[in-house]
């Protein structure tokens, strides 16, 4: 087909790379009427008009072609510039890919292998993928296979004149590729691929050596994990959370490792069924045993690593230090609280004492005042009683007993009705009145009248002082 290029870019999907669209081919000869009059045929190029306006719309930001559009408009590239840059990028990528799996040397011993004992061969070594092993991607395996086949194909050998009819290594390559491209069988082989194991260090290591020696061990063991990604060992600066996650992961390790690869061949001739069952049973037992052993081995491995991990000790010390600090702080707090309590108690006591003393003083003062008042009122009463006596009970001559009694009854009555202040006032008035009988009587009568007005005394109750 005719190639017509659009603004397509080599995208993620191969089919979109070179769209063969917009190809127009009209086979009838009615194209390009060069001779037709009225066309400006003299010059090569002539402008006869301009495009009519454009509308602004939003392009949906999806798809490889939009990404190409976005790249162009963001970097201000034209179609051809962008094509060139993208092409350059792609070239670089393939080159580095080609570089990195230059095949490894082939061991002459390996080349002499027989295909029939394929179980014993190192499939990765056969394909020259020793440095990748379980990390090799299917793509790499395919490429390695192609490369090996190119070198070891029997036809190639025949062409070189080495017609020794020995294509056993070629068969080995085929076996290895078949096995490694089948995910199940590859796992079975990876499970028992001792060459990929990393031996743990034999002696106790400290400092950075510890991490350097143990890290590859766990990376290698991590290939059996059902859970990916596998947490790393970290280094001396790892957080406690990281370290705990790491050990928890390894103590709860979920492994897909199987030992089917080491099975004894089950005879498949139809005759000895019992024999077949026997072998199958033996194989199953052996697998189980190996699996258990492997679990135990891994556990011991992790135990060993944990025992010599300095971070655990560090965290414990930190925890203890933290705990101590906490305890001290707590004690300090308790002490402080106690002191405060005692202080408060003392202050309270002092305050109470002061209050008591003040109350006592007040009481004494009040007592004194009361006594003084008492004395004063006694004195006043004496004056009151004396006043009537001094004026001879208002009688002209010797007062009769009835006179005395009447006057005294009234005096007592009034004295009983009046309070201390009124008593003092009355006493003062009487003192001024002295022995003047009329003045004394007026004072008393006034007092009686005041009491009557105040409603404390009934009118006519006082007989003499009216």
Smaller CB separation from another protein, 2 or 265 = 2
Q: Is 26 among the residues that bind another protein (CB under 8 A)?
A: yes
Q: Taking CB under 8 A as the rule, which mask of x and - marks residues 67-86 in contact with another protein?
A: x-xxxxxx----x-------
- Determine the interface stretch with another protein among 38-46, 300-308, 357-365, 455-463 (rule: CB under 8 A): 38-46
Smaller CB separation from another protein, 253 or 259 = 253
Q: Is 14 among the residues that bind another protein (CB under 8 A)?
A: yes
Segments in 128-235 forming alpha helices (H): 138-152, 154-160, 168-181, 183-191, 208-221
Q: Is 458 among the residues that bind another protein (CB under 8 A)?
A: no
From the list 99, 237, 241, 398, which residue makes contact with another protein (rule: CB under 8 A)?
A: 241
Q: How far is the CB of 166 from another protein (least distance, A)?
A: 37
From the list 208, 248, 285, 318, which residue makes contact with another protein (rule: CB under 8 A)?
A: 248
From the list 161, 183, 229, 416, which residue makes contact with another protein (rule: CB under 8 A)?
A: 229
Q: How far is the CB of 14 from another protein (least distance, A)?
A: 7
Sign of the dihedral defined by the CA atoms of residues 215, 217, 218, 222, in that order? positive
Q: Is 54 among the residues that bind another protein (CB under 8 A)?
A: yes
Site for another protein, residues 209 to 228, rule: CB under 8 A = 226, 228
Q: Is 181 among the residues that bind another protein (CB under 8 A)?
A: no
Smaller CB separation from another protein, 62 or 109 = 62
Q: 141, exposed or middle or buried, with CB in 10 Å at 0-12, 13-18, 19+?
A: buried
Residue 256 makes CB contacts below 8 A (sequence gap 6+) with 187, 191, 224, 225, 226
From the list 10, 64, 403, 460, which residue makes contact with another protein (rule: CB under 8 A)?
A: 64
- Determine the interface stretch with another protein among 46-54, 94-102, 192-200, 287-295 (rule: CB under 8 A): 46-54
Contact call for residues 430 and 442 (beta carbons, < 8 A): no
Contact call for residues 144 and 126 (beta carbons, < 8 A): no
Q: 78-111: string of b/e by CB count within 10 Å (b at 16+)?
A: eeeebbeebeeeeeeeeeeeeeebeeeeeeeeee
Q: Residue 76 corresponds to which tokens in the numbers above?
A: 């201000």
Q: Residue 182 corresponds to which tokens in the numbers above?
A: 């089948």
CA distance to 324, 345, 349, per residue, from 352 (Å): 42, 11, 5
How many CA atoms lie within 13 Å of 427's alpha carbon, on the beta-carbon side?
Answer: 19
Q: Is 37 among the residues that bind another protein (CB under 8 A)?
A: no
Q: How many other C-beta atoms can be found within 10 angstroms of the C-beta atom of residue 384? A: 23
Q: How far is the CB of 76 from another protein (least distance, A)?
A: 11
Smaller CB separation from another protein, 248 or 272 = 248
Q: How many residues bind another protein (CB under 8 A)?
A: 73
| 3-state SS assignment for residue 155 | helix
| 3-state SS assignment for residue 255 | strand
Site for another protein, residues 249 to 288, rule: CB under 8 A = 249
Q: Is 396 among the residues that bind another protein (CB under 8 A)?
A: no
């Amino acid at each position: 087909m005719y190639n017509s290029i659009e603004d397509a870019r080599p995208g993620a999907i191969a089919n979109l790379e070179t769209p063969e669209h917009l190809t127009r081919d009209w086979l009838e000869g009615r194209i390009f009427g060069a001779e037709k009059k009225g066309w400006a045929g003299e010059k090569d190029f002539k402008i006869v008009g301009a495009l009519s306006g454009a509308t602004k719309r939003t392009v949906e930001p999806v798809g490889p072609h939009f990404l190409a559009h976005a790249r162009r408009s963001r970097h201000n590239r034209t179609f051809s510039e962008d094509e060139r840059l993208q092409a350059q990028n792609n070239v670089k990528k393939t080159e580095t890919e080609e570089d990195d799996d230059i095949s490894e040397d082939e061991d002459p011993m390996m080349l002499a292998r027989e295909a029939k004992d394929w179980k014993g061969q190192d499939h990765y070594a056969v394909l020259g993928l020793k440095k990748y092993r379980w990390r090799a991607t299917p793509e790499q395996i395919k490429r390695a296979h192609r490369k090996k086949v190119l070198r070891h194909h029997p036809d190639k050998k025949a062409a070189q004149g080495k017609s020794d009819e020995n294509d056993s290594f070629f068969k080995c390559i085929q076996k290895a590729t078949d096995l490694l491209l089948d995910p199940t069988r590859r796992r079975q082989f990876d499970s028992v691929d001792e060459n990929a194991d990393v031996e743990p260090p034999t002696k106790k290591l400290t400092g950075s050596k510890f991490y350097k020696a143990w890290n590859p061990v766990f990376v290698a063991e991590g290939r059996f994990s059902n859970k990916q990604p596998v947490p790393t060992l970290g280094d001396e600066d790892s957080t406690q959370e990281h370290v705990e996650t790491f050990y928890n992961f390894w103590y709860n390790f979920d492994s897909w490792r199987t030992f089917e690869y080491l099975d004894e061949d089950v005879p498949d001739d139809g005759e000895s069924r019992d024999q077949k069952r026997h072998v199958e049973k033996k194989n199953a037992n052996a697998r189980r045993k190996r699996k258990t052993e492997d679990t135990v081995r891994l556990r011991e491995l992790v135990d060993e690593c944990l025992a010599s991990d300095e971070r655990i000790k560090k965290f414990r010390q930190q925890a203890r230090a933290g705990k101590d600090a906490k305890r001290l702080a707590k004690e300090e707090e308790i002490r402080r609280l106690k002191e405060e309590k005692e202080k408060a108690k003392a202050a309270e006591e002092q305050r109470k004492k002061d209050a008591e003393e003040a109350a006592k003083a007040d009481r004494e003062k009040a007592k004194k005042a009361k006594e003084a008042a008492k004395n004063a009122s006694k004195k006043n009463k004496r004056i009151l009683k004396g006043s009537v006596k001094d004026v001879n009970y208002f009688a002209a001559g010797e007062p009769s007993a009835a006179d005395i009694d009447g006057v005294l009854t009234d005096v007592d009555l009034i004295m009983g009705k009046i309070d201390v202040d009124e008593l003092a006032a009355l006493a003062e008035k009487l003192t001024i009145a002295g022995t003047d009988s009329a003045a004394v009587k007026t004072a008393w009568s006034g007092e009686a009248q005041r009491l009557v007005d105040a409603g404390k005394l009934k009118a006519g109750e006082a007989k003499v002082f009216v």
